[in-house]
Amino acid sequence: MQDRERWVADTLVELADTLAPALDPKSYWLCVANRYAQLIASSAVRLAAAGDRADRPIVVCTDERLEHPPLGDVLAEEGPGIDCHDNDEPVVNVPLDGAEARWNRLAPAALELGFRSVHAFPFSRRENVLGEVTILTTEASSLPAADLLIAIAFADAAAIGMLNHRAIAGLTRTSEQLQGALDSRVIIEQAKGLVSARLEIDPTDAFLVLRHYARGHNRRISELCEQLVSRRMTVSDLVGSVPKRALRPSTRR
């Protein structure tokens, strides 16, 4: 009993540990699916979750029979996974024998492969439904109450973990974009200073020189400035192709 409690505790920590920027969502969801397969005996697990693009969901399975036709195709269109995703409620302890009226394609296909009951849990938190896990078992018995509670806890932990990962990843991207913009601005200001000092013109006119050269040579101004600052290009290289009005003497004292 203590070993099982330790395993459950370790799994909850594992599912919540998603703050690493390099986390691979597909590997993470496969880990979640494997933990459900370990929790529920004699089971095969199919997990579907939203990917980076809405038209490309992540689908992982612990049993290849759930990946390929006929069962793989059917599970993508009907079954407890679709129902629990739409209703944001678990679907548990449903015998497949007699479920044809509810899932007229899934029930016979699953029974043919030896499955006897099915369960599904949504990955959701505060109206954010990220996906669902469908569990087919070869036993017709109901889930023990303890396993049911653990399965729900796993779903909650996985949903929170992935939402946290997405939030951190979004903040990281924003921070990198802002830092990139700041770095570019600093380089441009340094290049303006070089041009202004070398040609003895105002910084505003120095920027005109840089912009005119960049446009005339189909180059990004940030790239041009970086080459000037790193001394891979000299201010003299700019002079022959800049407007004369930009070369008026500086009014600085």
d(CA 47, CA 149): 19
pTM for this prediction: 0.72
Beta carbons of 26 and 41 less than 8 angstroms apart = no
- Virtual torsion, Cα 205, 211, 214, 218, nearest 10 deg: -150
Give domain limits for the chain.
2-171, 200-247
Strand order in the sheet with 117-125: 58-61, 43-49, 128-137, 117-125, 91-95
Report the mean per-residue pLDDT for the chain: 87
- Closest Cα partner for 80 from 121, 20, 126? 121
Instruction: Answer yes or no: is pLDDT of 249 > 80.
Output: no
Q: Is the pLDDT of residue 88 over 90?
A: yes
- pLDDT tens-digit profile of 148-204? 999 999 999 999 999 888 877 766 667 777 777 777 888 888 988 888 888 888 888
Say if residue 228's pLDDT is above 90.
Answer: no
Window from 10-24, 116-130, 155-169, 170-184 with minimum mean pLDDT: 170-184
Q: Within a 13 Å sphere around the CA of 81, how many CA atoms are in the beta-carbon half? A: 23
> 2-171 has which CATH code?
3.30.450.40
Which H/E stretch holds residue 130? strand 128-137
